[in-house]
Amino acid sequence: SLEEQRERYARIEPRLWGPVLRWFIRQPFTLALLGVPRAQRALIEAQFPGGVPAYVQDKLRYLLTELPIRDNYFWRVYLTGSYTADCCPNYLRAEHQATLQARVDRLRVHTTSLSGFLQAQQQRYSHYVLLDHQDWMAAHAPEALSEEWRLILQSSTEGARILMRSAGLDMDFLPDFVRERLEADQSGAAHWHQRDRVGTYGSVLSAGLRPATA
C-alpha cells in the first residue's frame, strides 16, 4: 500500500542521501546515463531550488511515496527489464487484444519530425500530445521550435487541445505568439501530472487553443 511505501522510504531516506550519492548525482554523466539531455539538466539547475541533487531527491520521494509501485509498469520495466501480467500497459493485456487486432488497420506509421508530418499531411487535428521534446528544441533549435508551433496552430481545429510536459517548473521557453493562443487548464494539468507514472517531470501543460485574433 502507499502507506507501507511511505513508511519504508522514511526509514531509508536519511541513509540514502549521503555525500557520495549527492556527489554522484551532480556529475554531468549521471543524468545522461538516465536519458536526461543537457538541455533538461540546465532547466532543472536554473529553476529548481537546490539544483539537480534536490530535484532528484524530491522526485524520488514523490515516486516512492505518492505513486503505487504495484501497478507502475514504467518503472517496473525500467528496473527489471520486463512486465508482468498484472503490471503492464493496457495494450499488452489479454482482454484488449481482440480490440487491437480489429482496429490495427487504423494505425499509420510516419518516420519524420512533427513539423515534417504536419507539412505533408495538410489536415486538421484536435489533439496534440507533445511529451517533453520541446525542452531540447528550446535549447538547441529555437527556430525549429517556433516553426513547429506555427504548424500546430495552422493545422489545429477550433478548440484543439495541447498536452505536454517539461523538466522545468515553468515552460517559459514557449514563444510569445503561442502563449497568446493558449488557455491553460490548471485542474487538467494537475490531473495528468498526478497520473504520470514516470513521476520525474517538473511541470505539465494542459491547454486549449483560443481563436486567433484578427
Domains of the chain, with CATH numbers?
A: 2-67 (no CATH), 108-209 (3.40.50.150)
CB atoms within 10 A of CB 171: 20
Rounded mean pLDDT, 168-174: 94
Q: Which of 161, 163, 162, 170 is nearest to 203 (CA)?
A: 170
Confidence bin at 90 (pLDDT 50/70/90): very high
pLDDT 10s digits, 177-194: 999 999 999 999 998 888
The pLDDT value recorded for residue 114 is 97
Average of per-residue pLDDT values in the chain = 93
Listed in sequence order, the residues at least 6 apart from 193 whose beta carbon sits closer than 8 Å to its beta carbon are 165, 201, 203, 204
CA angle 155, 161, 164 (to 5 degrees): 100
* H/E stretch holding 9: helix 2-16
Q: Does residue 115 surpass a pLDDT of 80?
A: yes
The yes-or-no verdict on residue 214 having pLDDT over 80 is no
pLDDT band at residue 29, thresholds of 50, 70 and 90?
Answer: confident
Give residue 120's pLDDT: 96
- Residue 34 has what pLDDT? 80
CB atoms within 10 A of CB 93: 13
Phi then psi for residue 170, to 5 deg, are -140, 130
CA distance linking residue 37 with residue 17, whole number of Å: 23
Residues 6+ apart with CB under 8 A from 25: 31, 52, 53, 56
Average pLDDT for 20-35: 88
pLDDT for 78? 86
Is pLDDT at 131 greater than 90 in this prediction? yes
pLDDT at 165 over 70: yes
Task: Return the residue matching grid coordinates 505568439.
Answer: 177
Shortest CA distance to 163 belongs to which of 138, 188, 143? 188
pLDDT reported for residue 122: 86
State residue 103's pLDDT score.
97
Please state the rounded mean pLDDT for residues 16-32.
Answer: 89
